[in-house]
């Protein structure tokens, strides 16, 4: 008998109960499983205890702020994050995307639009998993399993990648040796309607270097082609499916 897949599990993190609780109820009416947290500490505990498919995260939280928690998620997991913020400026949006958020929604928001963004992102993640099915690569001392969304170092230890970092590394690995401009990388890593920026690509490259390079200031694998973009110089070897 084929097992019934569980509904996607969303974590809503917002310190305002008058926003958090009605939003959670609205998401549940749209066939989503929802956990809630009023602060980053509670959110961290829930993330340790439950598999979470997507986090809706308010920027302004008591104690540890939403941007700090978003940065932690980008550095330690591939869980996508949609930031909620009353700050609607372009610089605020860019700052959120630079630290690893996958989307940015300004308050006040229409909950129907947020549901559409959540479901759209979950669909794109599902399509990406199908696209990368069985694709595994080795380069240097690293192994990249796109299907499992997993990067492992020379000792076999997993190194967490955010959703954006995973997409970027997959594009670079599949086009190793080719100089890719920022515009090309923006197009190749674009996530549906989510708008990326040159600065977000540069930030993702910087974060990847910190994880891949022994000396990020003198990169050997992911190099800058001055005036042109970036090039992944490693010798990439496709591996058979695990």
* Sequence-ordered list of residues with C-beta below 8 angstroms from that of 176, at least 6 positions apart, any chain: 139, 232, 233, 234, 235, 236
Last residue of a domain, one of 80, 109, 130: 130
Q: What phi and psi values does residue 137 have, to the nearest 5 degrees?
A: -140, 155
Question: What is the predicted pLDDT for the residue at 29?
Answer: 95
- Cβ-in-10-Å burial (0-12, 13-18, 19+) of 31 comes to exposed
The structure tokens 């989503």 sit at 32
Does residue 4 sit within a domain? no
Q: Residue 108: is the preceding peptide bond cis (ω within 30°)?
A: yes
Does residue 101 sit within a domain? yes
Domain tally for the chain?
Answer: 2
Question: 0.85 cut: is pTM over it?
Answer: no
Does residue 191 sit within a domain? yes
User: Across the 242 residues of the chain, what is the mean pLDDT of every consecutive 10-residue run?
Assistant: 67 96 96 96 96 94 94 85 84 78 89 92 72 79 85 88 83 92 82 55 86 91 88 90 60
Does 13 share its domain with 120?
yes
Question: What is the predicted pLDDT for the residue at 54?
Answer: 94
- In which domain, by residue range, is 172 found? 134-239
Question: What is the predicted pLDDT for the residue at 202?
Answer: 83
Last residue of a domain, one of 130, 145, 171: 130
Does 119 share its domain with 36?
yes
Does 24 share its domain with 101?
yes
User: For residue 58, what is the domain's CATH number?
Assistant: 3.40.50.2300
User: For residue 219, what is the domain's CATH number?
Assistant: 1.10.10.10
Last residue of a domain, one of 96, 130, 164: 130
Q: How many angstroms separate the CA atoms of 228 and 27, rounded?
A: 44
């Amino acid at each position: 008998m084929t097992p019934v897949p569980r509904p996607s599990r969303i974590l809503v993190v917002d310190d305002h109960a008058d926003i958090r609780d009605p939003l959670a109820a609205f998401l549940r009416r749209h066939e989503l499983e929802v956990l809630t947290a009023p602060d980053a500490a509670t959110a961290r505990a829930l993330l340790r205890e439950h598999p979470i498919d997507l986090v809706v995260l308010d920027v302004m939280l008591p104690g540890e702020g939403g941007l700090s928690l978003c940065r932690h998620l980008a550095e330690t997991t591939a869980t996508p994050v949609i930031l909620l913020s009353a700050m609607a400026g372009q610089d605020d949006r860019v700052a959120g995307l630079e630290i690893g958020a996958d989307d940015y929604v300004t308050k006040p928001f229409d909950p129907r639009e947020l549901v559409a963004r959540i479901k759209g992102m979950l669909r794109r993640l599902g399509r990406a998993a199908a696209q990368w099915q069985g694709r595994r690569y080795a380069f240097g001392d690293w192994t990249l399993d796109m299907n499992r969304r997993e990067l492992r170092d020379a000792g076999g230890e997993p190194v967490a990648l955010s959703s954006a970092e995973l997409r970027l590394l997959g594009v670079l690995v599949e086009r190793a040796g080719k100089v890719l401009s920022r515009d090309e990388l923006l197009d190749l890593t674009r996530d549906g309607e989510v708008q990326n920026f040159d600065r977000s690509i540069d930030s993702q490259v910087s974060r990847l270097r910190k994880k891949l390079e022994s000396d990020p200031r003198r990169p050997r694998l992911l190099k800058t082609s001055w005036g042109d973009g970036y090039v992944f110089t490693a010798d990439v070897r496709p591996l058979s499916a695990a």
